[in-house]
Amino acid sequence: MKLAVITDSSAYLDSKVAENEHLFVLDIPVRIDGVEYIEGKNLSASEFYQKMAASNELPKTSQPSIASLVNLLSLIEGQGYTHVIGLFLSSGISGFYQNIQYLKDEFPSLEIAFPDSKITSVPLGMMVEHILNWAQQEFSFEQILSNLDVQIKGIGAFIMVDDLNHLVKGGRLSNGAAILGNLLSIKPILYFDDEGVIEVYEKIRTEKKATKRLIEIIKEQTVQGNYQVMIIHGNALEKAEHLHQLLLEDGVSGEIPIATFGSVIGTHLGSGSIALAYIPIV
């Protein structure tokens, strides 16, 4: 088996993983003030947050190009690959997953799987890394997909944002939830539900109480089993470091990496957002 892995630029990838010869990444453009950017090519995460703060309107994102995926599959086929796993941002926040399923039958020489990740950002990047590691260890295609299914079913992320308008204007959260939050000064905790849709999980009165509750939720979700917990922030390193300290004080063990929401997810969550995510270790 020669396995190719495809993901999109919403995935947070370690630099070594990004350089893997068997990994291919589809670009998700971000448009700011009429200019199109691709993170990692002509835009860094820090530059994105600077440009977003200086703009009078919110950035806009689009889906990855299906035509680019078709060209990529043709390239992969020509390079002698036999199997492909395409793992992209959640179907709950993008229609890309539904729109590409027909491609599995368009390349008969390739065995193609397009699972729904139900997530994005760092957890998505971690699953991509795990797939590559399993392939290197010569796991079968079926075993890799089975392991991946365990992770997708057990993965989760809980999020706090400073401004719900980013999610509302991007069509990722209902107007009613945003209006309620703004009127009552509620600090909602959001999460990816079982369908990979961002919903309100709980409504908390203050950020301090919401942060405490965020830690409680993660401990509840990971009490059974072996999980990797991670912190993700949108241009809010001080918040992330404070949350890291609170996790350690609360007895959450193991390494807890801190990462940044890139431009694609930062567009919808906004500056100041903070999240705790977890993934089962298989």
pLDDT reading at 67 higher than 60: yes
Residues 103 and 73: beta-carbon distance below 8 Å: yes
Q: Are 232 and 135 in the same domain?
A: no
Q: How many whole angstroms separate alpha carbon 129 and alpha carbon 122?
A: 10
The verdict on 126 and 173 lying in the same domain is no
Domain residues for the domain of 206 are 156-280
How many domains does the chain fold into? Answer: 2
Please tell me whether residues 12 and 110 are part of one structural domain.
yes
Pick from 5-19, 79-93, 172-186: least confident: 172-186
Residues 163 and 125 in one domain: no
Same domain, residue pair 174 and 107: no
Q: How far apart are the first and last CA of the chain?
A: 21
The pLDDT score that the predictor gives to residue 199 is 85
Q: Which residues of 128-159 are buried (b: 16+ CB within 10 A; e: fewer)?
A: bbbbbebbeeebebeebbebbeebbebbbbbb
pLDDT of amino acid 268:
85
Q: Which of 118, 138, 154 is the last residue of a domain?
A: 154
**Which residue type sits at 266?**
G
Question: Is residue 43 in some structural domain?
Answer: no
Q: Are residues 162 and 235 in the same domain?
A: yes
pLDDT (tens digit per residue) in 119-150? 999 999 999 999 999 999 999 999 999 999 99
Within-domain flag for 259: yes
Residue at which a domain ends, from 135, 154, 173: 154
What does the pLDDT average to over 152-168? 85
26 forms beta bridges with 8
Q: Do 148 and 225 fall within a single domain?
A: no
CATH classification of the domain holding 275: 3.30.1180.10
Task: Give the residue-averaged pLDDT of 59-69.
Answer: 92
Does residue 164 share a domain with residue 110? no
User: How many percent of the chain have pLDDT more than 90?
Assistant: 70
**Residues 261, 183 share a domain:** yes
**Per-residue pLDDT tens for 187-231?**
889 898 888 888 889 888 888 999 999 999 999 999 988 999 999
> Comparing 47-51, 88-92, 248-252, which segment has the lowest mean pLDDT?
248-252
Q: Do residues 183 and 251 share a domain?
A: yes
- In this predicted structure, the answer to whether residue 112 has a pLDDT above a threshold of 80 is yes
Give the model confidence (pLDDT) of 165-185 as tens digits.
667 666 666 555 655 556 566
**pLDDT, tens only, 91-111:** 988 899 999 999 999 999 999
Instruction: Identify the pLDDT of residue 172.
Output: 64
Q: Are 160 and 207 in contact (CB under 8 A)?
A: yes
| Pair 105, 140 in one domain | yes
- If asked whether residues 196 and 263 sit together in one domain, one would say yes
Residue 84 class from Cβ within 10 Å (0-12 exposed, 13-18 middle, 19+ buried)? Answer: buried
